[in-house]
Amino acid sequence: MEIALLGGTGDIGEGLALRWAADSAHDVLVGSRDPERAAAKATEYATALDERGRDASVEGLGNVEAAQRADVIVTAVPAYHLTDTVESIADELSSDDVLVSPAVGMKRDEDGFHYNRPGVGSVTQLAANAAPDDVPVVGAFHNLAAGRLADLDADLDWDTVVVGDESDAKDTVIELAESIEGLRALDGGPLANAAEIEGLTPLLINVARHNDGLHDLGVRFR
């Protein structure tokens, strides 16, 4: 498959791009509002992979072109850019595509990070509301520590919970997630459960900030 990472020049986008390119046979399309920035980042990722002996397909494109070509489109953008990003590529999406949202809304005060739940119920629901009605939307990759994800020398031992209303779309994302070595995907049920998953991210950040040795904290269910 071809996987487009819109906002693939950012933290979570970089980690997913590098891991999929290193661990799977899928083609990775790094998307950005600025095609030149996307191309530069794709070259940077390809160089990092080549240095580790990984021959991978990584290409940088504008978001619209990346979405047009891809089978799975991951909106690796902050929550406050999510709706605009989905709307900007909506005409390129079809019912055969899968749109994936890893975004989490957070706010910060002197006590730490807190989940900023939108009025529609979750950030994943924001993506679903912005997407065409016939395009399946899946929430996944919400609770991954971006720094460790992007460090190809680091082993992963994490779970990611996948939520969505269409089973075939969820199965596709579960398969993609588990093509990353050390990542296990778990079915979290319908999209209505997204808020519970998204709300774990600020908790993990707060725990990591206050405990030595837990900088790249993730989730593992046992």
CA quadruple 183, 11, 211, 200: dihedral sign: negative
pLDDT at residue 54 is higher than 90: no
* Mean pLDDT of the residues in the chain: 96
- Which tokens in the block code for residue 186? 């778990």
pLDDT digits (tens, 9 = 90+) for 25-44: 999 999 999 999 999 999 99
pLDDT at residue 61 is higher than 90: yes
pLDDT at position 57: 86
Cα-only R_g, the chain: 16
pLDDT digits (tens, 9 = 90+) for 184-208: 999 999 999 999 999 999 999 999 9
- Which tokens in the block code for residue 43? 């070259």
pLDDT digits (tens, 9 = 90+) for 73-122: 999 999 999 999 999 999 999 999 999 999 999 999 999 999 999 999 99
pLDDT digits (tens, 9 = 90+) for 62-78: 999 999 999 999 999 99
pLDDT at residue 153 is higher than 90: yes
Q: How confident is the model at residue 215 (pLDDT cuts 50, 70, 90)?
A: confident
DSSP 136-173: -EEE--TT--HHHHH-TTS---EEEEEEES-HHHHHHH
For residue 178, count other CB atoms closer than 10 A to its CB. 15
Burial bucket for residue 114 (CB in 10 Å: 0-12, 13-18, 19+) = middle
- Which tokens in the block code for residue 117? 């739940």
pTM of the model: 0.96
Burial bucket for residue 208 (CB in 10 Å: 0-12, 13-18, 19+) = middle
CA angle 79, 144, 107 (to 5 degrees): 40
Instruction: State mean pLDDT over 4-19.
Output: 96
pLDDT digits (tens, 9 = 90+) for 117-149: 999 999 999 999 999 999 999 999 999 999 999
Contact 148, 180 (CB under 8 A): no
**8-23 core/surface letters (b: 16 or more CB in 10 A; e: else):** bbbbbbbbbbbbbbbb
